[in-house]
Structure formats: C-alpha cells, structure tokens
Amino acid sequence: MRAEQSSNELSRIYHRRFEHRVAYRNSVWKTLVTGFFSRYVSPDGTVLDLGCGYGEFINNIRCKRRLAIDLNPSSRDVLDGEVRFFEQDCSEPWPLPDESLDVVFSSNFFEHLPNKDALSRTIDQAHRCLRPGGRMICIGPNIRYVKGAYWDFWDHQIPLTDLSMAEILECSGFRIERKISRFLPYTMPDKLTIPPAAVALYLRFPLIWRFLGDQFLIVAVRG
C-alpha cells in the first residue's frame, strides 16, 4: 500500500487522525453500509476491503466471507474476528486465487498510494481477483471540488477526480456501472457529531449531494 511509509508511521498517522473518533465513525459507517452499500453485496458473497483502515466498512457489511488489506498492523486489532487480514503492500500480488472475490471496496485510500504506477498495479490485482461480473467500489476525494484542502492531509500523494479514476478502471478492463462526481462530504467534522439518522436522510436525497458532496463514487464491473 503506502510503500514509502513505514508501518510505524502509518500507525502514528491513523492514531492521530482517527483514534478520538472511532466509535462515531463506526456509527456513521454502519449507516452508510445499511443505507447504501449493502445493495451491492450479496449475503453469499466474498468481499475485500482494500485499505481497510480501522475496519469501519468491512466490520459492518454482511456477507459470507470478509477479507481486508492494509499495511498498517494496527488494523488487525480492530477487525472482527471473522475478517481475514492481509498486512501487505496492495500493489504487490495479493495472496488470493484468480476470480475469487465478488466485491472489492475501497474508501479514501487510492490518494495515499505513492504514485500512479502503484495505483495501476493495485487495480490490476483487483481485476485478477474479482470474478467476471464482480464489482469494484471506489470512494475518494474529488480534487476538482476539494481543491487546496486536498493537501491538508500529510499522506495524500495522488490527486484524483471521478473522470481520472474512471479512466484508469476502464483501461484496466472494467466497465463503469455508476459514476457520481459528488457523493459524500469531504471529511467528518471534528467538533460536530452528526446523528446517524441525519446521515441516513442525506443518503435518501441525492439532490443534496450536488451541494455538499466533495467525494466521488464509482462502481465498476469486471469484464
């Protein structure tokens, strides 16, 4: 994953950025999963969370088999016991058979990779491991809208838009099923706790996304 960073550095960044908001972030992601992302996941499916962080997505999604990848060893400590964890650079070959996954999910991760070659190799691994018809779901800050605030995070490396992300996916053998340039707000506010009910309401009114959303959502299907 973040090949130019040590595991210890990742642990320090994660701890500083997220440790004081773990419970709140988990409640928000539980709402996001049940209110939106679960529609793309079969109860009998196998799902991999790419760049799983503190496991907010993979711990809340319901499916037959759950996997996660991150270079940060601290991720192992917060994942459900049923989640199989791989601590590795995601641009290197994944320890999974060809066509063994139904969904690869990644949120706010690709911008942290060291360069575009690492991103391209990561997407190639996702394509190899997904079954034909399997989906890759990507969320990330859209630099077209967040502009300079994109660089407020020390470990952001690759600026991406919905169009550039869609292009590399198509070049890697995916078909774009859904592309939303403005989906979720850029960050969760540090001092304001938005009730999960408000998050659920936000998901029900896509018109609001056009004004508040700064992150893209792409759902791509493996050919």
What are 83-99's pLDDT values in tens digits?
999 999 999 999 999 99
**pLDDT(2) > 60:** no
Integer-rounded Cα Rg, in Å, for the chain is 16
Please compute the mean of the pLDDT values over residues 55-73 and round it to a whole number: 97
pLDDT given at position 16 = 47
d(CA 128, CA 146): 32
Structure tokens at 135: 């989906």
**pLDDT(53) > 90:** yes
pLDDT given at position 64 = 98
pLDDT given at position 20 = 52
Tens of pLDDT, residue by residue over 108-118, are 999 999 999 99
pLDDT given at position 8 = 57
Please compute the mean of the pLDDT values over residues 201-222 and round it to a whole number: 97
Please compute the mean of the pLDDT values over residues 197-203 and round it to a whole number: 95
What is the share, in percent, of the chain residues with pLDDT greater than 70? 88
Please compute the mean of the pLDDT values over residues 204-217 and round it to a whole number: 97
Strand partners, 49: 68, 105
**pLDDT(159) > 50:** yes
pLDDT given at position 14 = 52
Domains contained in the chain, CATH given: 7-222 (3.40.50.150)
Question: Is the Cβ–Cβ distance between 106 and 56 less than 8 Å?
Answer: no
User: pTM (2 decimals)?
Assistant: 0.89
Q: End-to-end CA distance of the chain, in Å?
A: 25
Question: Is the Cβ–Cβ distance between 162 and 183 less than 8 Å?
Answer: no
pLDDT given at position 124 = 98
pLDDT given at position 132 = 98
Sign of CA dihedral 208, 209, 210, 212: positive
Nearest to 106 by CA among 134, 69, 149: 69
